Structure 1
Amino acid sequence: MTRRRIVLLGSTGSIGTQTIDVATAADDRFEVTAISAGGSDVGLLAEQAARLRVQAVGVSRADAEPALRAALDRVWPADVPAPRIVSGPDANTGLAALGCDIVLNAVAGAAGLRATVAALTAGRVVALANKESLVAGGSLVTGLAGEGQLVPVDSEHSALAQCLRGGRPDEVRRLLLTASGGPFRGRRRDELADVTPRQALAHPTWDMGRLITTNSATLVNKGLEVIEAHLLFGVPYDRIDVVVHPQSVIHSMVEFVDGSTLAQASPPDMRLPIALALGWPDRVPGAASSVDWTTAQQWTFEPLDDAAFPAVQVARRAGEAGGCAPAVFNAANEELVEAFHEHRVGFLQIVDTVADVLDEWLRDQHPALGEPGTVEDVERADAWARDEVRRRLATGSSTA
């Protein structure tokens, strides 16, 4: 079996480190040839590079390159050729176009868009953990992707892809995305007003970075996943639903026209969807543990409380509007999450202000711009949303 060559973008994050675990455990199938990270932990990046014997290392912060070189000098084996170092804002884009079989994009946020576009343009399969690049890029990204070129890493979309193998497209009635409910499941809206950043980061199931964990607390992450599901699988928004499943064992479901529902079940472990994305359409034996059917357990399902957590409804509105509206939704949220962790806005203000900024975009006829034709189109919408959030914060006009 020929080993698949992997370029891993975002190697020091949660998905990145688990991807390395998967690849090294199945080193007869996978070889990581290049890695990148933002630059906040060059020591770990250097250690990963030395462990994997990569050919290239990227760091997005140009000022982190000297520290990376010094760290590599300390850990790199003397008998192995040193890797090429790429630094600066275009580091991920450069690595994404390298010769390889798969680019796994685990960069956080909208910053991953250019790397996704570069990888698709170069003809690589993109294992997509960076949902924001698909959400923001929309038809720009899907238009570049050939058959089988975009493979989901998110556990929910991996589950949907697996379940969709059980029927033809015309037999699908609806997609059901499951949500853990986050750390505040069951709380009323008025009980969320004084939530702190520390509380928002206390996710009951998953260990993720700050942005994604906060998005899971607000349910913005589930809103992004609704848009992602529509773009990946071509199912209309009115046939994509969200159900709360606190145990996070059922990762998503597909309901078919005859009343049958197929569900994908496994313990909450991202190594399984990562392994499946790298090996797609083949499974990787032993990638993760399975459900212990000898142990008594209960799985529960609840409707989503849209009054307390309106993010999914706001995301639907952005998705249905199309064009660059999803990019506006995503960028406004990223800016507000940062403000929340800097104690400049409250928890409820995140989604409320995102909704106001989206309304402003739609009201001002920005949709007349149509579908994004270039990355610059998306980036202009992204910049507009961030500027609008900053203006509201500076003038005190963000939603209270």
Structure 2
Amino acid sequence: MAREITVLGSTGSMGRQTLEVVAAHPGRFKVAALAAARNVELMTAQAKRFHPRLAVLLDPAGAQELASRLRGTGVRVLTGDEGVLAAATLEGVELVVAAMVGIRSLPAVLAALESGKDIAIANKELLVAAGDVIMGRAHTLKRRVLPVDSEHSAIFQCLNRGGPVEEVIITASGGPFRDKTLEEMAAVTPEEALQHPTWVMGPKVTVDSATLMNKGLEVIEAKHLFNLDYDRITVLIHPQSVVHALVRYGDGSLFAHLGPADMRLPIQYALTWPERWELNVRKLDLADLGHLDFSHPDVKRFPCLELAYHAGRAGGTCPAVLSAADEVAVEFFLAGKIPLTAISQVVARVLEEHRPAAADDLEAILAAYSWARRRAEVVAEGFCKGSPHKG
């Protein structure tokens, strides 16, 4: 019998690749609902191909156009946050793939857990901002939160090998600027930042990879997913992006997960766990690789990593503020308004001004997130004056 799934963020990079995995296994999955922000063209194509019971666009005008295009197909169309909530809690769905950017889908993800669904989490911001709430709710309800990020999927697959875990190592490619000086990084363009050397990702994640903020967010995710102390989570630069994570046990044994840089692999494992299915992807040839390189990150050139550790250790609403401020700063950079090196400065300033509060309920998290976005816009505007990238 086909397993019914909902995909939140179906038109984004992770959502599209999730549907590629579904298409690779005809008859084994049933897409019950799709939700996205505003891409009418792609959502129309997805709905006509996968025939979900429900399709949702956050944008009301887009949803109206989508309903017109899908008239007669039997696909119900909804809009707004209520539509996303309906998609996440749809009866019969076993697994919700949470791939929407930002934390707008947080209420829907929590509601999905409440309605008895497991979550395949493909969105960093959700666990960074609300990890305690999500994992606490999942534990109470005895639901699973399955990692989709390649690094966390790798950790997941290397755990439970017996004995206490001494250290978890998350690898980072280092992005396109790992060998550049600070002065050179200050002059890079958004177009250059979007040219990732090994992964194909959305713009936000790609820029975060260039600043190493992506790794910092993954450190916070790992803390929540696997109940780890920050002192036990290490980041290493690994340019080949072949080893995705390692787990060191108390006896000194080190387990590594190796695989090609293809997000369909961790996506499929989250969809099929505890089974492991065939997938037509490029196979690694270790002899052809020749060597694998590892080094420690340079936190002076990549201060976002240290900012993430700081926010994670501070806890409460600080990780939510970190994530929200980074979102805004990346938006300013992609618009050509501030240099890449200003992203960390914007985030640091907003974190410094923030008065931490407990992040034990949805309202506190959303309030901190909203404040941080507003404050980051003001701070980022201050960096626009005299920026070489000002549009």
Give the TM-score category using the shorter length: over 0.9
TM-score (structure 2 length as normaliser): 0.94
Deviation at 1:296, TM superposition (A): 4.8
Letter in 1 for 2:28: R
Q: Which residue of 2 aligns with 1:60?
A: 58
SS of the residue corresponding to residue 353 of structure 1 reads helix
- The question of 1:50 aligning with 2:37 is answered no
Q: Distance in 1 between matches of 2:174 and 2:386?
A: 23
Change beyond 3 A, Cα 1:393–1:5: same
2:149 maps to which of 150, 154, 160: 154
SS of the residue corresponding to residue 11 of structure 1 reads coil
SS of the residue corresponding to residue 52 of structure 2 reads coil
Letter in 1 for 2:117: R
Deviation at 1:398, TM superposition (A): 9.7
- The question of 1:91 aligning with 2:83 is answered yes
Q: Assess if the C-alpha contact under 8 Å between 1:61 and 1:89 holds in 2.
A: no
Spell out the pairing of 1:253-268 with structure 2 (5 A cutoff).
253-268=246-261
1:389 maps to which of 363, 376, 382: 376
SS of the residue corresponding to residue 151 of structure 1 reads strand
Letter in 2 for 1:322: G
Change beyond 3 A, Cα 1:141–1:58: same
Letter in 1 for 2:40: V
Change beyond 3 A, Cα 1:56–1:220: same
1:133 maps to which of 106, 112, 126: 126
Question: Mean Cα displacement is larger for which, 259-268 or 146-155?
Answer: 146-155
- The question of 1:106 aligning with 2:96 is answered no
SS of the residue corresponding to residue 242 of structure 1 reads strand
Deviation at 1:321, TM superposition (A): 0.7
Letter in 2 for 1:154: D
Deviation at 1:29, TM superposition (A): 2.5
- The question of 1:165 aligning with 2:153 is answered no
1:71 maps to which of 49, 69, 72: 69
Q: Assess if the C-alpha contact under 8 Å between 1:226 and 1:316 holds in 2.
A: yes
Q: Assess if the C-alpha contact under 8 Å between 2:174 and 2:212 holds in 1.
A: yes
Q: Distance in 1 between matches of 2:336 and 2:282?
A: 40
* Cα deviation code 1:173-202 (max 9, x no counterpart): 010000010010112222211111111111
Q: Distance in 2 between matches of 1:293 and 1:314?
A: 35
Q: Distance in 2 between matches of 1:133 and 1:88?
A: 19
Q: Assess if the C-alpha contact under 8 Å between 1:8 and 1:105 holds in 2.
A: yes
Question: Mean Cα displacement is larger for which, 180-189 or 320-329?
Answer: 180-189
Question: Mean Cα displacement is larger for which, 319-328 or 29-38?
Answer: 29-38
Q: Which residue of 1 aligns with 2:344?
A: 351
Q: Assess if the C-alpha contact under 8 Å between 1:267 and 1:290 holds in 2.
A: yes
Q: Distance in 1 between matches of 2:271 and 2:208?
A: 25
- The question of 1:226 aligning with 2:219 is answered yes
Q: Distance in 1 between matches of 2:260 and 2:297?
A: 22
Letter in 2 for 1:149: R
RMSD value, Cα: 1.9
Q: Distance in 1 between matches of 2:113 and 2:170?
A: 26
Q: Assess if the C-alpha contact under 8 Å between 1:7 and 1:32 holds in 2.
A: yes
Q: Which residue of 1 aligns with 2:360?
A: 372
- The question of 1:202 aligning with 2:186 is answered no
SS of the residue corresponding to residue 257 of structure 2 reads strand
Deviation at 1:311, TM superposition (A): 1.0
Matched residue count: 384
Percent identity of the aligned residues? 41
Q: Which residue of 1 aligns with 2:307?
A: 314
Q: Distance in 2 between matches of 1:102 and 1:274?
A: 12
Deviation at 1:114, TM superposition (A): 2.2
1:211 maps to which of 200, 204, 213: 204
Letter in 2 for 1:135: V
Q: Distance in 2 between matches of 1:148 and 1:72?
A: 34
Deviation at 1:70, TM superposition (A): 3.1
Q: Distance in 2 between matches of 1:289 and 1:8?
A: 25
Q: Assess if the C-alpha contact under 8 Å between 2:40 and 2:66 holds in 1.
A: yes
Q: Assess if the C-alpha contact under 8 Å between 2:312 and 2:318 holds in 1.
A: yes
Q: Distance in 2 between matches of 1:184 and 1:112?
A: 32
Question: Mean Cα displacement is larger for which, 177-186 or 112-121?
Answer: 112-121
SS of the residue corresponding to residue 120 of structure 2 reads strand
Change beyond 3 A, Cα 1:348–1:85: same
Segments of structure 2 that go 5 or more residues without pairing to the other structure are none
Change beyond 3 A, Cα 1:173–1:225: same
